[in-house]
Amino acid sequence: MNVREEYDRKLISPEEAAGLVESGMHIELGGSANTALIIDKYLAKRKDELERVKVGTFIDLANYEILRVDPMGEVFEWSSGFLFRPVRQRSKELGPCVFRPNLYHDVPKIVREFSRDYEPIDIAYIVTTPMDRHGYFNFGLTCSHMKALAEVAKKVVVVVKEDMPWVNGGYDECIHISEVDYIVEDNEMPLPFMPFSFPPTKEDEMIAENILEAESKGKKLIKNGSTIQVGIGGLPDTVVRMLKEAGYKNLGVHTEMMGDGTLELIEEGVITNCQKRLDRGKSVFTFAFGSLKLYEYLDRNPEVATYPVDYTNDPFIIAQQPKMFSLNQAAQADLMGQINSEQMGLISHTGKLYQVSGTGGQLDFVMGCLFSRDRQGFSVIAMYSTHNGTSRILPILPAGSAVTVPRSMVQVVATEWGVAYLKGLTVKDRAIAMIHLAHPDYRDWLEKEAEKLGIFPPNYTIPAGKPDYVLYKKD
């Protein structure tokens, strides 16, 4: 049988694909731009026919139909490896029980081992490109752990999208028709995209300027030839814009997420990838999300390579890149340098914890820079100093907050008010540094609270002037 005949034999409708689900099953719908929303649509219609179906997703870009028809999770026991904006209300209502904690680089291993030893995956619905003449489907915008899901699931259903770009990869970016049980053609759901438009706030511009102005031992945090990892949003986009304006040259890309900001630097000739030690000449990532222009650029482009996340986010792979620079954002930090980027403590009006997102790859890249082979790696945790009139730098993280990055691994922290190097500092000096980065309205309060907690000795007063470990401070 040739691959075309095999394709026709395995082709079923979306309704039939959703009909494969039985009570008590565990299914996976993928994530990010590769979420099988067509299956979500038709599975939701079967709510009254099913019981106790476990549904897994990650990087949630939609408010799923199964959540709309079953808001209390009585039929569909949904969980996510990284909650995104459309599903955060679910966490506010139910608490963090819907979240699966993980280090992103470890997810393929978790999938392979956990499903083998504890909880088998019955069906993996995997969004792909159309099949090529050799019988291969490409995972397109989201490589991540798709191959691992396909390897362990009892049944594999590929959901083909005509508008999914084919993205060249290092390995595990494709699946052959011989590894597939069923094929669905999705002609209903357009590929998710996001126009490249994040107007920077004044705070974004202040933080970005601080990061680019800061120097450690007379050297900038980002240098010509640096390999960079930045996320998506107003702050990373502002940093990207300033990198272009500052005249940086020969930057490389090794990141978990490819976005339009990176594309802009490639088009401007700022990113060339010519000085990378691994994957020279290629921008490397594990998933992409952005504008249609970005998707058109990625389609069969030899300048890029997608890899599974256990490669892109492996700290020891990251550590091999020259002058590695990583930028991630936090929601809260305390005076000891503990970073919370994902789970708020008890919400006053609900008495529940609130899972905002997930660990994602933040700790992966922090560790990668920490282990930097050339000792020129910098991981920067950026944060706004206030939110809704309260300080985001706190004496100690509130009860129930997650510690996304432990104080022992935090290297550099940046706010609108400055940049500080925490690695190697005592608890007292960390507190001094964090108070320098806090909003001026809260510095006296933080100083008094530090003394109450024993972080400062009795009657201690912070010396005047900027200590050396505060790399840059706004006047």
Q: Is 390 exposed, middle or buried (CB count within 10 Å of its CB: 0-12, 13-18, 19+)?
A: exposed
Terminal-residue alpha carbon distance, the chain: 73
Give the tokens for residue 89.
């209300």
DSSP type of residue 3: H
CA–CA dist 158, 179 (Å, integer):
10
**Order of all β-strands in the sheet with 227-230:** 252-253, 227-230, 325-329, 378-382, 412-415, 418-421, 470-473
Has 93 been annotated as catalytic? no
**Nearest residue to 7 via CA among 128, 124, 96:** 128
Give the tokens for residue 159.
């959901």
CA triple 420-255-194, angle to 5 deg: 105
Residue 75's contacts (CB-CB under 8 Å, 6 or more residues apart) are: 47, 50, 51, 52, 53
HSE of 107 in the Cβ direction (CA atoms, 13 Å)? 31
CA–CA dist 469, 471 (Å, integer):
6
CA–CA dist 101, 302 (Å, integer):
34
| From 256, 264, 342, 447, active-site residue | 256
CA–CA dist 211, 214 (Å, integer):
5
Q: Is residue 9 a contact partner of residue 34, using CB atoms and an 8 Å limit?
A: no
Question: Which amino acid, 196?
Answer: F
The residue count of the chain comes to 475
CA triple 208-212-213, angle to 5 deg: 115
**Within its chain, how far is the Cα of 376 from the centroid?**
23
Give the tokens for residue 298.
């990625």
Catalytic residues, by residue number, are 256
